[in-house]
Structure 1
Amino acid sequence: MAHQLNGSDINTDTSTDAQRSWWKSSPKALGTALVGGLLGGAVGAPFAAIVTDWIKELLAVVSRQGNLVLIIAPLIGIAGSVLILQVFGRGEATQQRDDSPDAPR
């Protein structure tokens, strides 16, 4: 991909032809990627469905509460978070500067 800056072309595509067509030269790599994608999808989809069901159940429980609880409970949670951050967050941030050159790519 080339971009033009002040009349000169700048090539921003750093991949080589071999990197772009890895699946053509290595059917084993393509098979490994395919199996990995299928396995990831088979594990990820039920996990996402279970988490979604938990969220829906929690919302059903919360929605049955009285109006006072729906207003006060989040305020208590925010106050607790602020208190925890004020007690434990008393240190100063340590800043580090790394002057080492970038890793070759």
Structure 2
Amino acid sequence: MTTDEPLSMADMTSFNDSGIPKTSMDDEIPLDKARLTLLLVNGKRSLFDFDPSTTIDAVKAIVLNQWPQDWLEQKPSSTKSIEFVYLGKFLDNNTKLKGQ
């Protein structure tokens, strides 16, 4: 696993009946990671941890490659169909998760 590959939270987090991850004190975000919540329009969520220097373009490719198995009917055909929004703004593909 390279530093750009996420640590999928699917195996480390339990989910409630709505598919939303349950949180606990043990589920703190590591200081050296950026946590993203993948949210589908139907409300399903999945958590991923990334190295903060990862670009949005790389995140899209990794998310598409590691798309949750129980969401296959909603899997996008390409990374062009995936958008990331932060504070109401769409993030550019060349943007890093955390600015230097």
TM-score (norm 1): 0.18
Larger Rg: 1
More helix as a share of residues: 1
Higher relative contact order (CA 8 A, sep 6+): 2
More strand as a share of residues: 2
TM-score (norm 2): 0.19
